[in-house]
Structure 1
Amino acid sequence: MAVQTPILNHARLAAGVEAEREGKPAGYVLVTGASRGIGRAIVLRFAAEGYAVAITYHSKRDQALEVAERARRLGAPETIVLQLDVSSPDSVEKAYHRLEAEWPYLNVLVNNAGVFHVGGIEETTLEDWEHVIRVNLTGVFLVTKTFLPMLKRAPWASIVNLASIAGQTGNVAASAVYAASKAGVIGLTRRLAVELAKYGIRVNAVAPSFVETDMVQMFLDTPEKRKKIEELHPLRMIIQPEDVAEAVYFLATPASRAITGHVLSINAGRFAA
């Protein structure tokens, strides 16, 4: 049974501090979809705290290798790069066996891999619908279910899922299928928080508004468009990947040991407007 580690220092994990003294990783972290954007920022945040990080990519191996090199420079004692299609059971199983052969357990699973989709329901095909749901929602299910044995073996463990403001409100530019997939992630997060509590495994989600990544450049590629997006948010800002990474780090580590089943909105005040 996974048991949460006591906190001796609010700023850094007690387990991590002790591990550094012994020359061991602060913990073991798997981030899906980590070759760029939010996933990359999450990997680097954990690396800076001395965690061993596993970086998965779908097709951009060169970018994943660059993230691994950067993570090592920041302090990750170990990096593993894995090709992974979260929508494929065979691919997920293969990644699991590779990681299980390298690591004793898994402290943190971050389900970040996903695809974006825009357009009205009249333009959305059944193929579009099935692809987005398969990656964004079924992928979270497959990865979580497959890697659960490694999480259960850890002295403390948690899961953080990447949801979206689109899963909380219909008043965003994303398509119906994208909104449905992210609403599903929120529902899955809450149910798993209850189901996995018996193992001491916490499950939370973050729900960002627009984050400045390649995925949403179509909304930010002119000064006029950028200003329009900024004005949607009371803080008059566009969220950066590092903002999301900081929230993920907090929810993933024992600093938030009393929080589970929570969806942390990272939206620069957009809900308050």
Structure 2
Amino acid sequence: MKNIIITGTSRGIGLELALLFAQAGHNVLAVSRKIPQALLGNQNITCLPVDLADENSLTQVEDFLAGWKHVDAIVHNAGTLIHRPFFKTTTADFEHVYRVNVFGVAALTRICLPYLKKGSHVVGISSMGGIQGSMKFAGLSAYSSSKGALITLMELLAEEYKETGIAFNVLALGAVQTEMLAEAFPEYQAPVSAKEMASYIYDFTLTGGKFHNGKIIQVSSSTP
């Protein structure tokens, strides 16, 4: 039984991932702005209503971890997306996206560091749009650039903490049929469901840290 923190659990991949870990008997701390009904009542899941864009909101996680003592894995799954032409994308838009997709990841990781131990695995969920040289899509300047920043952050953490035995890796996902994708691109149908991708992330979170550190794994069967 492991202690797993997952962000962005209100829907999509994060929701499916929380259920997978709980069904396997692991303890799950589900972090999201909204708490979904599907997670309530599960004895293996604790839900905290946390806004990653507000660093003060993360004190709830800090208080909770005092009872856990250690964290075996973090899946930084939460993300926000703005689909808008660049000339209409404001500084406030960029700041909001980066607060969730980058600054929130950094802040939560800092809080968890005292509880991470040798063998712990920190997984950043990025996007193929954040991979240098990959195909890019108009209207995603804030989102894709933030996912590129997340990749670099995780590489740096892997280097900085390599002597501790804590692994930091990134999964750069291709298109997955989630509510966020449907909202941004209503006519696009992704080849992979949220549940299918959650199953892949579940396995990687439990075993990937043994074989990878500071790596970016591209998880895409298509372009995007």
TM over 0.5: yes
| 1:67 alignment partner in structure 2 | 39
1:128-178 CA-partner distances (Å, limit 9, x unpaired): 1111111111111111111111113xx631100110111113522551111
One-letter code aligned to 2:136? N
1:7-53 CA-partner distances (Å, limit 9, x unpaired): xxxxxxxxxxxxxxxxxxx1000101111111111112212322111
Structural RMSD (CA): 2.0
| 1:253 alignment partner in structure 2 | 206
Of Structure 1 and Structure 2, which has the larger fraction of its residues in strand?
A: 2
1:199-228 CA-partner distances (Å, limit 9, x unpaired): 11101111112211111114664xxx34xx
Q: Does 1:270 align with 2:223?
A: yes
Shift in CA distance, 164/125, structure 1 to aligned 2, threshold 3 Å: same
| 1:204 alignment partner in structure 2 | 169
Q: Is the 8 A contact 1:55 1:68 kept in 2?
A: no
> In terms of Rg, which structure is larger?
1
- Between the aligned partners of 1:66 and 1:249, the Cα distance in structure 2 is 18
Unaligned stretches of 5+ residues in structure 1: 1-25, 230-236
- Between the aligned partners of 2:120 and 2:10, the Cα distance in structure 1 is 23
Counterpart pick for 1:158 among 115, 121, 127: 121
Unaligned stretches of 5+ residues in structure 2: none
- Between the aligned partners of 1:93 and 1:174, the Cα distance in structure 2 is 34
| 2:7 alignment partner in structure 1 | 32
| 2:194 alignment partner in structure 1 | 241
Compute the displacement of 1:66 (Å).
2.0
| 1:78 alignment partner in structure 2 | 44
Counterpart pick for 1:193 among 145, 158, 174: 158
How high is the TM-score relative to the length of structure 1? 0.75
Compute the displacement of 1:118 (Å).
1.0
- Between the aligned partners of 1:245 and 1:174, the Cα distance in structure 2 is 26
1:221-236 to structure 2, matched below 5 A, reads: 221=186, 225-226=187-188, 229=189
- Between the aligned partners of 1:42 and 1:173, the Cα distance in structure 2 is 30
Q: Does 1:47 align with 2:22?
A: yes
Paired-residue identity, %: 27
How high is the TM-score relative to the length of structure 2? 0.90
- Secondary structure at 2:75 match in 1: strand
| 1:135 alignment partner in structure 2 | 100
4+ residue runs over 6 A deviation: none
